[in-house]
Structure 1
Amino acid sequence: MTSSEIWDAETARTYDTPGEGMFAPEVLDPAVDRLAELAAGGRALEFAVGTGRVAVPLSERGVPVAGIELSEAMIERLRAKVDESVIPVVQGDMATARVEGEFSLVYVVYNSISNLVTQDEQVECFRNAAAHLGPGGRFAVELGVPGITHTSPGTGAAVFAVKPGYMGVDVYDVLNQRLVSHHFRFDEGRRARLGRSSQRYVWPSELDLMARLAGFELESRHADWRGAEFTAESRSHVSVYRLPA
C-alpha cells in the first residue's frame, strides 16, 4: 500500500484514541515533557505531525511548533483542533519538504521515520532535519528496535500487540530490511478487518551512521521518554542527535 492509501480519511478519522493507547497520559506526557526540555526555549518542528497528538500539547506548553505532514486527511483532523496560526503545517514528505525559518529542535516520533521505506529516503530525512536547525540544534527520533529476533523459527513473523478486539503481527522481509505490520481488528461478531502498513526497519547503529552523514553527533539514547537505560533487551529507543555548536 502507498502512504496515501494507508493514511487516508478513514485512518485519520479513527486515529485519535483520547486517554488510551499512545494518547494515554503515561505515554504522552513524558514525551511532551522531554521535547519541551530539548527545545530549550526555541522553535520545534515535527516531521509527520499527523493529527497533532504531540504537537498540540507541546504547543500548549508554550513551545512554538510547526509541522510537516504527507496526509491531507490527517492535517484536516489537526485543523479541527488548532488553526494554522497556532501550528502551521506544510503538506509534503518529511525527507524533502521545507518549512520557513530556523528551529532548535526537529523531532519524529512513534516509528514514523520507518514509514520512509528506502535507505536513501531515511538518509535524506536526517539531512532535511539538519537543514532546518541552527547551530547546536537537536534531532530527536523515537523508534522501535527491530523485533526480528523475536520471530518464530521459519516464520519471519512476530506478534507485537494483543488486546481486546485487536492483534498486531509484523512480517519481516530480511533480505530487503522491510516489514509489513498487519493490524487485525475484530468486531463483536465474527468479522475482522485487516489493515497493513509497510516500513523499513533500522537498527540503532545504522541510524547513527545516517546521523553522521548529515553532520549530527549522538547526544543521548534512552529506552523511553522518561530516560530509562537503553539495554540489549529494550524494545524501543529515543535517540537525540545534535549538530555542532
Structure 2
Amino acid sequence: MTSPSTSSDVWDARTAEAYDADNVGMSAPEVLGPTLDRLVALAEGGPVLELAIGTGRVAVPLAARGLAVSGIELSQPMVDQLRAKAGPDEIPVVVGDMARVRVPGAFALVYLVFNTISNLLEQDEQVACFANAAAHLRPGGRFVVELGVPDLRRLAPGRDATIFETGADRIGLDTYDVVTQRMVSHHFRFAEDAGTTQAALFRSRHRYAWPAELDLMARLAGLELEHRWAGWSGEPFTAESESHVSVYRLPA
C-alpha cells in the first residue's frame, strides 16, 4: 500500500499494533537512554520535531523530559498507537509525507531516527526530506539523522543477501540491489502453537545511502555537518562502524 505522494510503504493497522512488541529491545533503557540524552542536549531546551514519529518510542519519553515535541507520520495506524500514550495536546502530529508536509513553527531540533530516512525509496525524496527538515529549523537549529552504514562488504561474490539477525524465534536477512541502492529487510518470526510451529514474514523496503551522500543532501538544503558519531553516546565514527548519528546545523 502506497501513497500517491511518496514511494514509502504505509504501515497498516496490523503492523502498527505489533510494532512496539516487535521492537521492544529498542525501548530498553540502555538503548533508548543515550538517544534521549543526546537529543535533549542538542535541543538546548527548544521545541523539537520528529519525522516519522511512529508509535512514539522516542517522542513520548522525550516529552516527559520537558521538551515540546511535535511529529510528522505517514501512517495513521501508527499515530493511533501513539494516541494511546499521549494526546494531541501533548504531542501534536501531522499525518503526511515527511519529505513534503509542513508543521507550524520553527524548531531548535528536527530528528529522524532508527534508519527511517531509508524508507524513502527515491533519492529525490531523501533530498526533499533534508530540504523539508531545514525549512522547519530556526537559525542555528539542528537536523539529526540516525542511519546504518550499508553492509555491502559482507556480500559474498555472486550473492545479494546478508543475515543480520538469528535467534530461536527469529531470523532476519537483507537482500540488496546495488545498482538502485535498494534493499529489502525480511523478518521471519516463529512461534509454537499447540505443538505446531507457526511462521510469519514481514518485509520492509529501503533505499540505503552512504554518509557522504547524506552530507551532499545536507549541503543542498543549506545545512552543515557539525558532528558524526558511531552511536548516541558519541562513540568515534570509523571505517568499521555499522551505523552513524549525523548532526547537521543551519547556520545562524
Structure 2 length as normaliser, TM-score?
0.94
Pick from 184, 188, 199: which aligns with 2:188?
184
Residue 222 in structure 1 maps to residue 235 in structure 2:
no
Aligned to 1:149: 153
Percent of pairs with identical residues: 63
Pick from 82, 87, 91: which aligns with 2:86?
82
Aligned to 1:62: 66
Aligned to 1:37: 41
Aligned counterparts of 1:213 and 1:19: Cα–Cα separation in 2: 33
Aligned counterparts of 1:101 and 1:204: Cα–Cα separation in 2: 29
Q: Is the 8 A contact 2:9 2:119 kept in 1?
A: no
SS at structure 2 position matched to 1:164: coil
Aligned to 1:193: 200
Aligned counterparts of 2:17 and 2:181: Cα–Cα separation in 1: 31
CA deviation after TM superposition for structure 1 residue 7, in Å: 1.1
Q: Is the 8 A contact 1:41 1:63 kept in 2?
A: yes
Structure 1 length as normaliser, TM-score?
0.97
> Unaligned stretches of 5+ in structure 1?
none
Q: Which moved more, 1:74-83 or 1:189-198?
A: 189-198
Counterpart residue type for residue 232 of structure 2:
W
Cα 1:183–1:18 shift into 2, 3 Å: closer
Once the two structures are superposed, residues 204-243 of structure 1 have per-residue CA deviations (whole angstroms, 9 ceiling, x without a partner) of 0000000000000000000000011111111000000001
Once the two structures are superposed, residues 127-169 of structure 1 have per-residue CA deviations (whole angstroms, 9 ceiling, x without a partner) of 0000000101100000000011112221110011112311110
CA deviation after TM superposition for structure 1 residue 18, in Å: 9.3
The count of residues paired between Structure 1 and Structure 2 equals: 245
Q: Is the 8 A contact 1:19 1:25 kept in 2?
A: no
Counterpart residue type for residue 129 of structure 1:
A
Aligned counterparts of 2:53 and 2:23: Cα–Cα separation in 1: 19
Aligned counterparts of 1:18 and 1:84: Cα–Cα separation in 2: 25
- After superposing on structure 2, the runs of 4+ consecutive aligned residues of structure 1 that deviate more than 6 Å are none
Aligned to 1:169: 173
Q: Is the 8 A contact 2:8 2:120 kept in 1?
A: no
Aligned to 2:212: 205
Aligned counterparts of 2:184 and 2:47: Cα–Cα separation in 1: 34
Cα 1:233–1:5 shift into 2, 3 Å: closer
Aligned to 1:49: 53
Residue 94 in structure 1 maps to residue 101 in structure 2:
no
Aligned counterparts of 2:142 and 2:223: Cα–Cα separation in 1: 8
Aligned counterparts of 2:171 and 2:246: Cα–Cα separation in 1: 28
Aligned counterparts of 2:249 and 2:212: Cα–Cα separation in 1: 16
Aligned counterparts of 2:22 and 2:118: Cα–Cα separation in 1: 24
Counterpart residue type for residue 78 of structure 1:
L
> Unaligned stretches of 5+ in structure 2?
none
Aligned counterparts of 1:5 and 1:101: Cα–Cα separation in 2: 28
Q: CA RMSD in A?
A: 1.5
SS at structure 1 position matched to 2:235: coil
Cα 1:17–1:194 shift into 2, 3 Å: closer
